[in-house]
A and B are shown apart, each in its own frame.
Chain A
Amino acid sequence: MSILAELAYWQQTSLRVAAGLVAVLLPAGTLVYLYLFKMMSFMQSRLGPMEAGPFGSLQLVAEVGKWLQKEDIIPTRADRLIFGLAPFIVLMSTFLLVVVIPFGPDAFFADLPTGIYFALAVGSISVIGILMAGWASANKYSLLGGLRAAGQLIAYELPMVLAVVGVVIQAGTLNMQGIVVAQADGEIFGWGGIGNPYILTQFVAFAIFLIAVQAELTQTPFDMPVAESELVSGYLTEYSGIRFLLFFISEYATAGAFSAIIAVLFLGGWYIPGIDIDDNVFNVIGPIVMMVKIVLVSFVIFWFRFTMPRFREDQLQRLAWKVLIPLALVNIAATAVLKVAF
């Protein structure tokens, strides 16, 4: 609180909003260029964009310029108001998700006492936006895609929430900073050399959360809502130009935000072992540490995306209800018993 505490609330908030825009757009841009453009291309034995800038690094700028010039098409039969509102709601859900992510002891946007709980709550607002998009398009593909997305997102909401309970039991707090501190101060059976990053003691929860995030992002192998070969592009079929870009930004910004939440919950957040956690230097290196962890976690997410074939709808629901939810409940029970016993 050293430097920021002396500023007035509006000054602090202006700084936070500016940083928040960076925290939403920078990971989104990084993920799109690094993974969607380059990694996918290399995995398919091609080069990807090479013309705009060195190694195609300015391709993103070109893409945004292209989307800006596209004609704004709203089908005559669509419900104009809801059609227009849907991308706004999806983007807002992403921004609210980023609010709770801490990037350092003082470098946070809003330090809510119920941090992770709030994140899980606002993360599911995007379902409403997607359902609105699918319904308002007045398109058969869009309606099917919207319903599939809603069914999938609520089914995988549960394993995700239940996986977090295991972490909360270990940390004893819902606050994101508190979870980082608990991991830094933690010990694994009496050995506290690297703290206790929960990926080691909550590995089951980590695996469940990662799978659930994959489904929440509607990425392959869970991309039935936007399956090109069956539904054109699902709830996005009627969206073009800027309105599509808003969905696109929000999808990749959400991928970055969920990677950041995984980094906080399971990889120790902005803390790295070897430096005292009260050291103010974490306000400077914290964001860098977080960015590295975000890129590492999202590498795994995109790796799955480019490697796996698509599930069937019944396999998707079976995995959620018959495997992940019981597994998450067992994980909670085991964690609780161990927590009380030791």
Chain B
Amino acid sequence: MPLDETPGCAAAAATRYPSAPMLGLETVWFQVAGSVCNLACAHCFISCSPSNRTHAMLDLAAVEAHLRDAEGLGVREYYFTGGEPFLNPEILAILDAALRYGPATVLTNGTLITAKRARELRALSDASSYSLDIRLSLDGFDAAGNDAIRGAGTFARILEAIGNLSSAGLNPVITVTEACTEAGDSRGRGRLLERLRALGLERPRLKVMPLLLLGAETDRTRGYAAGETLAGVALEEADAAALQCASGRMVTAEGVFVCPILIDSPEARMGATLAETLRPFPLRHRACHTCHAQGLNCRT
């Protein structure tokens, strides 16, 4: 159980954990593809797969309603994830709508980014004064490393997506998790950047993410250990302000959650609308330890 709490002592437990403040809503995430993905990566913290229907897709009308709310709350930027966002049949219309409100980033495994889709994304980007960013996941230097995590044949398909985006004049942010073990240190990062240049990205952009010990990752490695908790931790004001839950929320078809990580945790659902969720959040989940200890922020 990822919640770090003593059964039967809820009131006492609530007082043992620090809370993240809500300093103002700046970043809104959309679980736009629900939990459906065309891949089933071995490290996925919400175990997305072709058959995972835990979270439904968001449709354009729902996204637009939340965008209107977000505008009134002064939101700065929008992120779209899943699952695989390009499985959502309305994804281009959704990105187009978002880009009327602010900058947008879409997180994708890239396998559905054809040359035509890349050109459509470029057109969306050109039509807005705000930035459209594509974050493309890769988990190794070669097919052997990547495909062990993301599935057979995916390395070649990701390279094809990189080529399609580059040809369309878009420079994706390559996102690598520490499942690619070398990515965590500076020498490994340097090698990875060299590799990306060799693969055709002239100006490689790179984000390295720590792993979350949730979902499928618990089978691949392990779950959180007993000591990996924020119980009894007194957060410095600056550390609390740096947490993504101090300025962000995640919209799903099932309601608004505290962050993109905890959508499988019912206690992390904070309301039906963004405005209902503008309050502090108690950091009782084991994954909160990763955000604090490793400085994880899902933003680019």
Genuine A/B complex: no
Which positions in A face B, CB cutoff 8 Å? none
